[in-house]
Structure 1
Amino acid sequence: MRAMMMDVPLLTTSILRHAAAYHAETEIVSRLPDGALHRTTYAEAWARCGRLANALRLLGLKPGDRIGTLAWNSHRHLELYYGVGGGGMICHTINPRLFPEQIAFIIGHAGDAALFVDPGFVPLLEELARRLPALPPVVVMTDAANMPHSTTLPELLCYEALLAAAPDGFDWPELDENTACALCYTSGTTGEPKGVLYSHRSAVLHAMAVCSPDVFSLSAGSVVMPVVPMFHVNAWGLPYAAPMVGAKLVLPGPKLDGASLHALMEEEGVTFSAGVPTVWMALLDWMREQGKRFASLRRMVIGGSACPPVMIERFRAHGVQVVHAWGMTETSPLGVANTPLAKHRGLPEADMAALSAKQGRPLFGVELRVVDAQGRTVERDGVSRGSLMVRGPWVASGYFGQDDAPAFAHAGWFETGDVVTVDADGYVQVVDRTKDVVKSGGEWIGSIELENIACAHPAVREAAVVARPDERWGERPLLVLVLQDGCCVTWAEMAAFYDGKIPKWCIPDAMVVVDELPHTATGKLQKARIRDMLRAGALPPALTS
């Protein structure tokens, strides 16, 4: 017997329509490239999205077209999220931090029918034009007064002029909820970038899940500032989640240095933020140097790569609760988040610190499997390690334009490439990436734990651990460090710092000190490049005992 419930599709447009109706005066604040603040409301944003959708039609764009964006977090970028997807097209957010050849590949592979770019990315587009067979129409996301005056590109269109010429009152289509609304490519650390195509249904369900108390814990009283860029997995769903609950939205634009982020947080009363560890490390260091505190910030989600426990403690000292999280482009991205259970109340501080270092428990809707090399499920004992596989309604079932993908060849499960443990309560801890594990004498040594310990040393700013060949053991861990300004540390001091924290055979045998570590465009350590430098003899001499 079928139930007698209305069959109303889950569409992203319903989110902003709801916000405009019931949180009409709630602000959306954007920091513009010149540092000025732009203020609008959900009601005004909804009206502008209608004009944008009409403008897209007038440009000859049609349902199913991919519309590329090269833009920071701003009110115009937010309008594209809703105006493009709601009109039946696909908002293709492009990471401008990738190599130009990768961006050109992504634009060509996606078949973008138009490109919407911030003014600051016009020079990048000029370089990309030489790599593309044909450049689609380009719309600069600004007003007439701030349009570029000199460019080698063909005629550029002005975003605000297009909206001014478009009629109000777009007739939003009632799409099938499985219609694609967004596209984001992986960073391509191995091979070419791969496209993940999100549906209206997956975007809405993901937003509903992350709003819950054990994840982002958002409400109409929240002031949300996504520092994670809107070109990085839809800013972890926050452009959908904040309007869904009617939270004030603060968009920081291109200025992500410690001084700019802290000032904006304080000026706008930000209570919640989210971003990758590298950004927060710079903010915390700046605050320490300046003697600053947080007046309103209460909750912080950190993901993208493992968060060192010392960073969690530094935020806690400022009265900020850190929610450690894990996800991927293929999981929309949130898969697990770390908040304590009732049984954890009153735990000793050391035990709580150990718990908070884990990535967390699965969100409802995400199922996990952890298997060994033979495909057998490993014990949930917090010790046994295995490869993590996931499935769920906001997990990709394949890559855009790619029929054969090994990661999806597991009977409906996606193989993440992460090596993890899971404890009896379901808390996942990422031990390493499959390709980054150090295999020493037949045993696996996880690099992430070694990096986290090193980062707790007061002289260390950032750490990476990679495998280096060893005649006796096959591989041994090499510690690569970036030190705090004016600091120095000997190998004997680092070895002593590890002593008692891990088994002696896991302690790195040598260390290298460098000025900086390579990162991917999304802020993750690029260990493949470090390994390449090691093989090529491009690292400084190693310090050993």
Structure 2
Amino acid sequence: MSNEYYEYELTLDKILDTGIRTFPDKEIVYRDIRRYTFSSFSNSVKRLVTGLKKLGVKKGERIGVLDWDTDVYFHTYYGVPLSGAVLHTINLRYPLDLIVKTILHAEDKYLVVRDEFVPLIEKAKNIIPPGMKVITYSDNKEKVKSPISNADFWELIESNEPTEEFDVKENDMSTIFYTSGTTGEPKGVWFTHRKLFMHAMSVALTGTRSPFNLSPEDVYMILVPMFHVHQWGFPFVTFLAGTKYVLPGRYDYGFILKLMEKEGVTYSAMVPTILHLLLTHPDAPKYTHVFKKWKITIGGSALPEGLARKARELGITVTTGYGLSETCPVLSMGYYNNVAQKLDAEKKFSLQISTGVPIPLVQIRVVDPDTGKDKKPGEIGEIVVRSPWLTKEYYKNPEKTAQLWRGGWLHTGDLAYIDEYGYLHIVDRDKDAIKSGGEFIPSLLLEDAISLHPKVAQVAVVGVKDQKWGERPVAFIVAKEKVTEDELRQFMLGLTDQGRIQKWWIPDKFIFVDTLPLTSTNKIDKKVLREMAEKNK
């Protein structure tokens, strides 16, 4: 028997290799500043690996990044893990004290910092551990002049030769980041090369299914911050799927629309807030021809039906996905299973904007939160999951890890039911559910109903304490045009007659606002809204 058997490790260099062998000339585009082919980008990443090692980076050390959605960030997605280090994608929308807290908790030894964020780190230089090295860069490749700068990013690439030697194994830690902190202190989650690889493979396969129908001819622009859950895995998916990838840098919605047209963007992923901002941008009417070719996956928070229908009217194919920071993130997507394929167009549309069906290799159950027993179809319970890419633990937090993984299933804290077609429908986050008179009012279904009013641009519903009922719903409304509370109440009474909602769900109060508060990942911040609602009682 030969002793030369090769154990194939699922590491990120294999994803790069697949891309350059099959799609060498496909492009990565950063705004109107720089372009790479897959081949030249791969070469650049391998130079970065050499540069990081010469700088002194050792296996297992953490390298934090503070940047927008740029080509530099894209380099670190591959270059840092392939150097043997661990990529810490820092949430740059955190306040400085929380940024520093995550840097310290992750035990970062190096930082990669865009020039405009250098003053932020300079403010924290007395808190950051001595000996930490800071790698800086600017878009125009001029060296950043700062006493905290130890190396120039571009020099690490341009002054070194590419390497083909990667001292990494599939179960090595590859990335770490921190949850958005909407339910308390941010918690660290981490993922191995293998987890990222398996996730990317499954997402790439799912993208080929209807109604996505994605192919190498598609052009991706993912409007999810690169610090947020690996940009939903798409920087890895693109090399497997062979798709052109467009990076918008800092989000400027007018510029994004121009870039979409210029680069021929056909597919994006984003939270509902970003879609709303793009479709209501003053320049949006000039880009209806672009919208007609556009396929979108919405995730991060529930897609209001009213927004989904507006997108469809513009010719956009809109679908949903579901996942968590703890799950890498994708668990389910609104593609058509073989049952849905046989349904009429309107029913298919309702399913593609639901929480969807599990993507390959994901197991999803809906269980009673107290007993752990499975709920029947149509019954509401908590979503628990298994897949090959879920985080093993909360970093240095065994107590929260035990809560997350009780019973051998990852507990999401999301309440949902499974319908007769096998599709998952989230009705609320456990923490957002409104318990009124001993019964739950599902805030997401209520938001969905209000969003159908033609004068409503955005809506969010939260519960406030009530002496009689325990809690009652309050709705926050961003209006497209002037609308009264009575108009909304009458509209909702009409929906009760249609059986869409129950009469007792109708909010006790409608609060009109110009904008809704957002979390660091552009989700509606219901914690802030609950505080506002209590003050408006």
Range into which the TM-score falls when normalised by the shorter chain: over 0.9
Please point out which of 273, 277, 292 is paired with 2:268.
Answer: 273
- Taking structure 2 as the reference length, the TM-score comes to 0.92
Task: Measure how far apart 1:143 and its partner are.
Answer: 6.2
Partner of 1:161: 155
Secondary structure, counterpart of 1:398 in structure 2? coil
The aligned counterpart of 2:390 is 395
Retained in 2: the 8 A contact 1:144–1:161?
no
2:285 alignment partner, one of 283, 286, 290: 290
Output aligned runs, 1:30-109, within 5 Å: 30-31=30-31, 36-109=32-105
CA deviation after TM superposition for structure 1 residue 133, in Å: 4.4
Q: 1:236 to 1:143 in 2, by over 3 A?
A: closer
Question: Which runs of no fewer than 5 residues in structure 1 stay unpaired?
Answer: none
Which amino acid in structure 1 is aligned with residue 8 of structure 2? Answer: V
**Match for 2:46: what amino acid?**
G
- The verdict on how the C-alpha distance between 1:302 and 1:135 changes in structure 2, with shifts beyond 3 A counting, is farther
Counterpart of 1:521, as a letter, is S
How far apart are the structure 1 equivalents of 2:143 and 2:448? Answer: 46
Does 1:230 pair with 2:226? yes
Q: Which AA in structure 2 matches 1:96?
A: L
Could you tell me whether the CA contact under 8 Å between 1:432 and 1:447 is conserved in 2? yes
Q: CA deviation at 1:534?
A: 3.1
Which residue of structure 1 aligns with residue 437 of structure 2?
A: 441
Q: Structure 1 residue aligned with 2:299, among 296, 299, 303?
A: 303
Q: In the alignment, is the contact (CA less than 8 A) between 1:397 and 1:408 conserved in 2?
A: no
Alignment partner, residue 19 of structure 1: 19
Q: 1:409 to 1:101 in 2, by over 3 A?
A: same
Change (3 A) 1:368 1:431: same
Unpaired segments ≥5 residues, structure 2: none
Once the two structures are TM-superposed, the CA of residue 503 in structure 1 deviates from its matched residue by 0.9
Q: What is the CA–CA distance in structure 1 between the aligned matches of 2:177 and 2:6, rounded to whole Å?
A: 32
For residue 74 of structure 1, report the CA deviation from its aligned partner: 1.9
* CA shift in 2, pair 1:196/1:298, >3 Å: same
Mapping of 1:162-241 within 5 angstroms? 162-173=156-167, 175-212=168-205, 213-214=208-209, 217-241=213-237
What do the CA deviations read for 1:363-419 (whole angstroms, capped 9, x no partner)? 12111121224324343423x111111111111121112222243341221111111
Distance 2:352 2:228 in 1: 24
CA distance in 2, matches of 1:9, 1:363: 23
Report the aligned-residue RMSD: 2.2
Query: Offset of 1:134 from its aligned partner?
Result: 3.9
1:379 aligned residue: 375
Match of 1:361 in 2: 357
Instruction: Find the residue that maps to 2:56 and give its secondary structure.
Output: coil
Mapped to 2, the partners of 1:497 and 1:352 lie a distance apart of 26
Q: Quick one: distance in 1 between partners of 2:5 and 2:459?
A: 54
Q: Cα gap change, 1:450/1:131 in structure 2, threshold over 3 Å: closer, same or farther?
A: farther
Q: State the 1:320 CA deviation.
A: 2.2
User: SS where residue 533 of structure 2 aligns?
Assistant: helix
Percentage of identical aligned residues: 35
Deviation at 1:337, TM superposition (A): 0.4
What SS does the corresponding residue of 2:408 show, helix, strand or coil?
A: coil
Shift of 1:229: 1.5
**Cα deviation, residue 127, structure 1:** 3.2
Superposed CA offset, 1:446-473 (max 9, x none): 1111112222222222211111122221
Find the aligned partners of 1:29 and 1:206 in 2 and give their Cα distance: 24
Residue type matched to 1:9 in 2? E
AA of the residue aligned to 2:123: E
Aligned to 1:507: 506
Range with bigger deviation, 467-476 or 208-217: 208-217
Separation (CA, whole Å) in 2 of partners of 1:519 and 1:131: 28
2:489 corresponds in structure 1 to 495
Q: Find the aligned partners of 2:162 and 2:265 in 1 and give their Cα distance.
A: 33
The 1:14–1:464 alpha-carbon spacing in structure 2 relative to 1, beyond 3 Å, is: same
Distance 1:25 1:288 in 2: 32
Q: CA deviation at 1:203?
A: 0.6
The AA in structure 2 aligned to 1:303 is G
SS of equivalent residue, structure 1 residue 264: helix
Question: Matched residues in 2 for 1:45 and 1:284: separation?
Answer: 33
Cα 1:5–1:308 shift into 2, 3 Å: farther
Corresponding residue for residue 128 of structure 2: 132
CA distance in 1 between counterparts of 2:197 and 2:289 reads 32
Contact 1:19–1:246 (CA<8 Å) still a contact in 2? yes
Q: 1:120 to 1:471 in 2, by over 3 A?
A: same
**Which one-letter code corresponds to 1:226 in the other structure?**
I
